[in-house]
Homo-oligomer: A and B are copies of this chain.
């Protein structure tokens, strides 16, 4: 049995391990939190700091292959491990580009895929020199995650919200739709596309309400999105799972926003809604088995269960029983003992061939299921 390591032990690692139990693999997880969601679903849990060179190198040196479930890992250690013959998917070279928002943006420009205009800044006062880009988004190059390290700067008064560290200032695009396209690429370079996913936001609060798959987009936009995603993934030159997040503007132009070199929140629905889930697919890639079938079994919606505002402490799920009676819903709770505002505590996938049914039930779940104390 191959020895496979996962850096990070959050919900993505947890779901990866649930799928991994269908394959012959000995599983290793490294994470600092011994009570993290993935800690008890692996053969071997190693407490360690995934950003530390020694910890990551020592974790990987006796394994056959490694993957990540979060980008904030020590790339230098992964580079050394790759030089010593380990399979690291995503490859450290791809990860290094994506981890740094400046390099990532320059990468998109270099491969000539459409992406919003941008400049590099060393501190927020430099934004003053680029007022023509406003309204813009300021993204810190290193260390941002899940909304942290990102500031919207609509006008000069908001420059103070920017970052005094190397960052990218990107012109805001007028977005009609935000989509994600997950691409699998195996060790032979073969690729498989999942159907695109559309993010539905609450306009008042700018919160993701739910995701729909397949995205309701024009054939032209789909064609562009697939071409962009393929160009991005091919040029990253690495096996793995990649979630390419894109914007569609009101003229049906498609712009790449960001890429995640790993299993991704926008692929949760693939567990029930696809023949081969993104998690199953990553095992196939790691173990060098054939790619799976990305076709959808049914259309689907996915609702994240987010820690409610104003509650921090031991979690209680309000409305769980009601949601468990929805006959085409699949509830995933991540086993986190503590809830915090905005923390991802679980998700619910709905499958149906009726878009109205998906939207109706996604709304019910959004209203009903609350993670609080």
Contacts and interface: CB of A to CB of B under 8 A. Distances in A.
Question: Which of A21, A298, A325 is the most central at the interface, judged by chain B CB atoms within 10 Å of its CB?
Answer: A21
* A contact face: mostly helix, strand, loop, or mixed: loop
B335 A275 contact: no
Nearest to A328: B275
A303 to B, nearest CB: 14
The copy count of this chain in the complex is 2
A351 B328 CA distance: 17
Interface string A7-36: 000000010011001111001000000000
A333 B289 CA distance: 14
Given A22-B333, A40-B27, A289 B321 contact: yes
A61 interface: no
A260 to B, nearest CB: 22
A354 interface: no
A333 B26 CA distance: 13
A324 B22 CA distance: 12
A187 B30 CA distance: 39
A78 interface: no
A337 B2 CA distance: 12
A284 B17 CA distance: 21
Given A289-B320, A289-B321, A324-B289, A21 B1 contact: no
A192 B356 CA distance: 27
A111 interface: no
A328 B332 CA distance: 24
Contact of A18 (B18, B42, B43, B298): B18
Interface string A34-64: 0000001111000000000000000000000
A364 interface: no
Contacts of A160: none
Interface string A305-343: 000000000010100110011011011110101000000
Given A18-B18, A22-B333, 10 more contacts: A1-B335, A18-B21, A21-B335, A23-B333, A24-B315, A275-B328, A284-B324, A289-B320, A290-B324, A293-B328
- In order of increasing CB-CB distance, the 9 nearest A-B pairs are A293-B327, A40-B43, A22-B332, A290-B325, A290-B324, A18-B18, A289-B324, A18-B21, A24-B333
10 contacts: A21-B41, A22-B331, A40-B43, A41-B41, A275-B327, A275-B330, A289-B324, A290-B324, A290-B325, A297-B297
